[in-house]
Amino acid sequence: MATPTRPNIILIMADQMAAHALSLYGNSVCKTPNLERLAAQGTVFESGYSNNPLCVPSRASMLSGMLSPDVDVFDNANELPSSVPTMAHYLRHAGYWTELCGKMHFIGPDQEHGFNQRTVTDVYPASFQWIADWQAGPAFVPSGTALNGVVESGPCVRTMQEDYDDEVEHCAIQSLYDRAREPENQPFFQIVSFTSPHTPFTVSQEYWDRYESSEIDRPAVGALPFEDLDYHSKALFFAHGRHRHKVTDDHLMAARHAYYGMISYVDDKVGRILDTLEKTGQRDNTAVFFVSDHGEMLGERGMWFKQTFWECSAHVPFIASVPGIAGGGRSDMVVSLVDLLPTFLDLAGADSPDLAGRSVLPLMEGDADAWPDIAISDYLAIGPCVPCRMVRNGRFKFIYTHGHPALLYDLDADPSELNNLAEDAAFAAVLAELHALALTDWDPDALTTRVLNSQHQRKVIKTTPGAAPQWDFIARTGDDARFVRAQGVDATKGRLRLPQVPEVPADWPALDQETVADLITGRRNLDAFLK
């Protein structure tokens, strides 16, 4: 059966969902029957990547089909320029009605970016509140995110994130009913974007109880000695607050337990969306995609959150179900989120502009002959405070951190990324090739200047005396106080957890910028501070 002309398109997104946590990618614990159902109807891309392992830059890249430095989005307080067309603009030109339902983390006065309709207030602020500051050093975290979201993990009655995601699901499904009633039969494009399973790792009792504590698996790679870490990982040690909270084994296993419960919670929502498409007779003419903006380290290597190029952070689920293309397939070709927009335009029968990605439809149909098998990911936010870039090319992954030694891994032979081949003469040619590819049209010195200038300009606006600009898209009265706004992420989510739990105090005091720099460079010993 041929792919229908201009099918409806639904993109379902999770936030911070790691591919390695899903059964479709080899996990034996997490229960996701509805994602497996979607996969049986479509194709699982085994090597899907985020183009930036951080929320705002990743989403800007995905929506625009361009790498984040090319649209001047560096951190979680950068606006996507209104002059950059998005999926919504392109698909409206192709005759689609477009809707954004849920989280997209838009910054600045443009809160629609081409969508015909937006439902549900964003969970996070639209201001310049969370500007990265490279001059403040690796330990600076503007969002207030810390390891409280890990050490306070566990079950509860209700979380703020469930408040949000239940509303997203309701609005998305109602919209599908509305579209089914439309007599014009105009094709639609809908993004349904959940905030789960983002930290804090807290989930309602129903989903906690889907797992026995005894069945929760442990990290494949435990915490590594600080002195053996690369510079990027050392910097994130402080950015993520590992110098403030000791994560015990009980904390570790509770966090993983809750995370799996949160994934099952999202999975149920995917199932109800698929059910609605089937009930309304729209499934046979609707392409459904499932992705995440980035992954989650979940204690692997002793690390948490994202912002790294390690597989648990950069490798994301990428599932595509397209009418007319047989389901149950798998592709081992390297793809990334910038490939979504060209794919959608291909489905819409529209010409694709010059974008960073390509349509994955040929891969779904078994034609991989012309596929470049490359994914590029950038990172320009907190922690390392220098430009960082990853190139995945076939079996190899190259990591460039400006001013620091390069890393090279053979993911076929070394999926845990423990054997750095950058100093191995046998791989010198591979290293040189990927190094050159990483620096093609990417000047780290010039990029450093651009990032620092952007940070400075936004800080001037952020600190200007008087009332701060109010850019939030407010879907209903009271939403300006219901979700994360003026306060830090962990503090707000902790306060809105039902019932609240006592805040776990830090085990060690904060460190000044000079001390952090000395610890990273080895001039001082970390163990002496963390006794």
Q: Which of 129, 143, 146, 231 is nearest to 510 (CA)?
A: 146
How far from 41 is each of 23, 189, 344, 518, CA to CA, in Å?
A: 16, 19, 18, 53
Phi-psi region of 190 (alpha: psi -120 to 50; beta: other; left: phi over 0): beta
Q: How far apart are CA 318 and CA 39, in angstroms?
A: 10
Which one of 30, 55, 156, 388 is the catalytic residue? 55
> Kind of pairing, strands 43-49 and 329-336?
parallel
Catalytic status, residue 315: no
Backbone CA torsion sign across 150, 151, 154, 159: negative
How far from 500 is each of 136, 335, 392, CA to CA, in Å?
A: 33, 41, 42
Q: Are 142 and 107 in contact (CB under 8 A)?
A: no
Beta carbons within 10 angstroms of residue 32's beta carbon: 24
Q: How does 88-125 read in b/e, with b if 16+ C-beta sit within 10 Å?
A: bbbbbebebbbbbbbbbbbbbebbebbbebbbbbbbbb
Q: Where are the alpha helices (DSSP H) in 327-369?
A: 340-348, 361-364
DSSP 23: G
Catalytic status, residue 245: no
Q: How far apart are CA 117 and CA 225, in angstroms?
A: 50
DSSP 74: -
Q: Where are the alpha helices (DSSP H) in 41-159?
A: 55-64, 87-93, 148-151
Half-sphere exposure of 91 (CA within 13 A, CB side): 35
DSSP 498: B
Could you tell me how far CA 227 lies from the centroid of its own chain? Answer: 28
DSSP 10: E
Phi-psi region of 129 (alpha: psi -120 to 50; beta: other; left: phi over 0): alpha
> Kind of pairing, strands 407-410 and 396-401?
antiparallel
Cis preceding-peptide flag for 138 (omega within 30 of 0)? no
Q: How far apart are CA 438 and CA 230, in angstroms?
A: 18
Task: At 523, list the tokens.
Answer: 């001039």
| Longest CA pairwise span in the chain (Å) | 71
DSSP 191-239: EEE--TTPSS-EEEHHHHTTS-GGGPPPPSS-PPPGGGS-HHHHHHHHH
Which one of 20, 30, 101, 105 is the catalytic residue? 105
Which residues are marked as active site?
55, 105
